[in-house]
Structure 1
Amino acid sequence: MNVRLFAWRGLAVAACLAALPAAHATNGYFPHGFGLKAKGMGGASQALTHDAFAGVNNPAQAAWVGNRFEVGAEIFNPKRSATLATPMGSMTVESDKNAFLIPEMGYNVGLSNRLGVGITVYGNGGMNTEYPAVFPGDTNFFCSSATVCGQGKLGVDLMQLIVAPTVAYKLTDRHSVGVSPLLVYQSFKAYGLQAFGLPNQGRDSSTGMGVRLGYLGQLSDSVSVGASFSPKIDMSRFKKYGGLFAENGDFDIPENFSFGVAFKLTPAVQLALDYQRINYSGVRAIGNASMANFANGFGAANGPGFGWQDVKVAKIGVQWQVNPAWTLRAGYNIGSNPVRSEDVYLNILAPGVVRSHLTVGATYAWSAKEELTVATWHARRHNVEGTMPAPTRIGMSQNGFGVQYSRKF
């Protein structure tokens, strides 16, 4: 293995990713899956070994996938809106930002029959909304009384980029374990929040390190199981936003875990089932109640957050290898909604309320070493209504399409 080439490829793609905006708001703000093959199967990935995205899906997979790399990008199209009762009557506004380009990359090398290493570069998720100024005097949507308003456009832009080097080892011919250190960079910007005493501060950044652990086992020739776990990642504080996020600007990445099983129903048809849990409530900036903690003041340890509950997700996917060249996929992803009615008002900024995704995809392999994968998905619109401090309704729907090139070497 050329270590220098391996490192530079990862760093180059990371630089490209860091320069692009991110906007995920599917299972909360985490994407419904990683890699176009998984996304075509509803996000199911824990017990499968079909690409080089081990660092984000299940690190133990790196011992099985051999020498290959994947590079892909998707167009993500979320449609967000909010309806708010104002002194001038009920008004509905849609976010102006509704199309995003999101790349990702995986690279894997088998060092021996038992040892594999790789690197995955991906956007973990984000929140990116922008509502126009809608009232006379250039005031924005947070006008819940005749005198309390934000100024100009209203929005937030959160991006999380993770570089995940991976090492995996086969304990036996059927069982492997893996570990991926997670090198995390995130950036954030908010504007139009003068209604809460928060002037525009511009963009700020934060860094941290975490880990993802994984296990993969082949119980028989037709059944495999997998599991992965990432504890909460302690991030450095957003210093410019110490007056916004709880705990003086702290915005950690929540603990999350997944486990799954895959069945080979026939030599050509495989069924995969995953369960995932994302513990948003363990991060105070995300999980603290919003209006119930309003009197404590933004930035305090017990100050307002988004009030998100933990999200539980079920993923089911099927793939059919029609012939050596073509493989077809379909899937369904259903998750719980993190936003409660009492926290709807602040979640105008981050309406991550969609619950279900329908997905389809396909791979065309024109040679033994090269293939192209496509996937598309739709999340139907879901609304949540609240009454504090004013009657409010937020909603979101999503569409996405992606293309991924893969090469074995």
Structure 2
Amino acid sequence: MDSRSFSLPIVVASGALMLFHTSATYALNGTELTGYGVQAAGMGGASIALPQDSVAAANNPAGMALVGNRADLGLQFVLNSLNIDYAVPGNSLHSGIVAPVPEGGFNIVVSPDVTVGMSLFGMGLAANYKQPALPGLGLANAKSSLQMAVVAPTVTYRVTQNSYVGVSAQIAYELFEAQGVVAPSSDGSLSALPNHGTRSAFGYGGQLGWLWTPSDIVTVGATFASKINTSALSGYGNDLLNYNAGKLEAPMHFGAGIAVRPLQSLTLSADYLHLNWRSTALGDAATFNWKNQDIFRFGAAYDINSRWTVRAGASLANCVIGSADTAPNFLSGGVNSKAVTVGASYRFANHVELNAAYEYDLPVGIVGTGRSRGFNLETRTSVVSVGVGIPF
């Protein structure tokens, strides 16, 4: 590698960080995307045992051991339509969002046993109804935005001839805004919560990963990530998030996966991933009441020739909210949890890759019950992903 090889990761990382700072995100599994990395996104997110680019540490830090010297930069455009009947008959709200979610990374092979690198990825949710939640109360337009950018410096080590471990620190920067939120007063009437504007917070966490290649055709992986603990979002701890001291964290998660190559040109992959929302503010039973998620992801990749690879996959999970939880979640709407995906890659003669993927989420409709009676929610989501990978 010459000096230009070392400067390339710096350029990619700097560009990704600038995009993170200016973009709003919207997620599929709660606040998280179905898959991180454009190639993984085309395979239903199945990636714990199948690292394909330098975003791999978002899925399993040990995966960086197998991606070689490379840099990646991508964008996942989340297209979401959210409709809700809010509280009184005839009061219907609509939110339509196109949200770019940037990601990227770089990886350097230091020795046959050690790699160092960094993955950058985002998570969040958003809604913008462009009108008040209830008419006649003088409310501001109802909208919300949660953005969390995560930088994951990563080191891997080969512990045996065919097994690897990886560790990532997770350093997060969070932006949050909620406006036009209505809450019941002590006398039972509805009143607006204060608008504190956009507030920021920092967070930290860590992730461990393991990969094992018992043969040339099988790879097995496992990963565990701590909760990303965050500082308080100034002002929101006094009202909307007072039950959690103004904090919104990313959940602890763990998972395992397997990848099998029955043919030289065909790779099959499957994952199980558990997201522990109950350990975060969003899982508080008295407010948002998000449920833990069990996610099953399946993918296939087929090399047509040395230039073209095509992919397909599916991701199946339980919804984070139940029918009694549509009212407190009208500003989140991250309820799409079953998706089918396709993708493709083209490699130029210099090995630079162009990657693309498309995800279609099955529509979700929930009729509110109990404390959410009269709050009926319907949402449709799709994701278009594009990216470039540059080996060096």
TM-score of the superposition, structure 2-length normalised? 0.92
Contact 1:54 1:166 in 2 (8 A): no
| Residue 65 (str. 1) matches residue 62 (str. 2) | no
Contact 1:374 1:403 in 2 (8 A): yes
Where does residue 42 of structure 1 map in the other structure?
44
Where does residue 217 of structure 1 map in the other structure?
212
- Distance change (3 Å), C-alpha of 1:7 and 1:209: farther
Where does residue 231 of structure 1 map in the other structure?
226
Query: Per-residue CA shift, 1:96-123, capped at 9, x if unaligned?
Result: x411122211111101111111111111
Where does residue 262 of structure 1 map in the other structure?
259
Query: Per-residue CA shift, 1:327-384, capped at 9, x if unaligned?
Result: 1100011110110122111111111211211100011112252111111110021112
| Residue 361 (str. 1) matches residue 361 (str. 2) | no
Cα separation, 1, equivalents of 2:214 and 2:94: 49
Contact 2:74 2:104 in 1 (8 A): yes
Where does residue 113 of structure 1 map in the other structure?
112
Aligned to 1:55, the other structure's residue is in SS state: helix
Report 1:83-94 matches (<5 A): 83-86=85-88, 89-94=89-94
Q: 178-187 or 219-228, which moves further after superposition?
A: 219-228
Contact 2:55 2:103 in 1 (8 A): no
Aligned to 1:216, the other structure's residue is in SS state: strand
- Aligned partner of 2:19 among 16, 19, 40: 16
Where does residue 204 of structure 1 map in the other structure?
199
- Aligned partner of 2:248 among 247, 251, 276: 251
Aligned to 2:62, the other structure's residue is in SS state: helix
Cα separation, 2, equivalents of 1:12 and 1:260: 31
Contact 1:150 1:193 in 2 (8 A): no
Cα separation, 2, equivalents of 1:9 and 1:127: 25
Q: Offset at 1:278?
A: 0.6
- Distance change (3 Å), C-alpha of 1:267 and 1:310: same
Gaps of 5+ in 2: 183-189
Where does residue 137 of structure 1 map in the other structure?
none
Aligned Cα root-mean-square deviation (Å): 1.8
Aligned to 1:10, the other structure's residue is in SS state: helix
- Aligned partner of 1:181 among 164, 169, 179: 169
- Distance change (3 Å), C-alpha of 1:376 and 1:230: same
Contact 2:324 2:373 in 1 (8 A): no
Cα separation, 2, equivalents of 1:259 and 1:368: 34
| Residue 319 (str. 1) matches residue 301 (str. 2) | yes
Contact 2:271 2:298 in 1 (8 A): yes
Aligned to 1:62, the other structure's residue is in SS state: helix
Cα separation, 1, equivalents of 2:8 and 2:372: 56
Query: Per-residue CA shift, 1:178-225, capped at 9, x if unaligned?
Result: 011001010100111254541111110110111111001102121111
Q: Offset at 1:323?
A: 0.8
Query: Per-residue CA shift, 1:292-337, capped at 9, x if unaligned?
Result: x3xxxxxxxxxxx211000111000000011111111000111101
Structure 2 counterpart of 1:367, one-letter code: A
Q: What percent identity do the matched residue pairs reach? A: 31
Structure 2 counterpart of 1:262, one-letter code: A
Cα separation, 1, equivalents of 2:84 and 2:215: 50
Cα separation, 2, equivalents of 1:32 and 1:355: 8
Where does residue 77 of structure 1 map in the other structure?
79
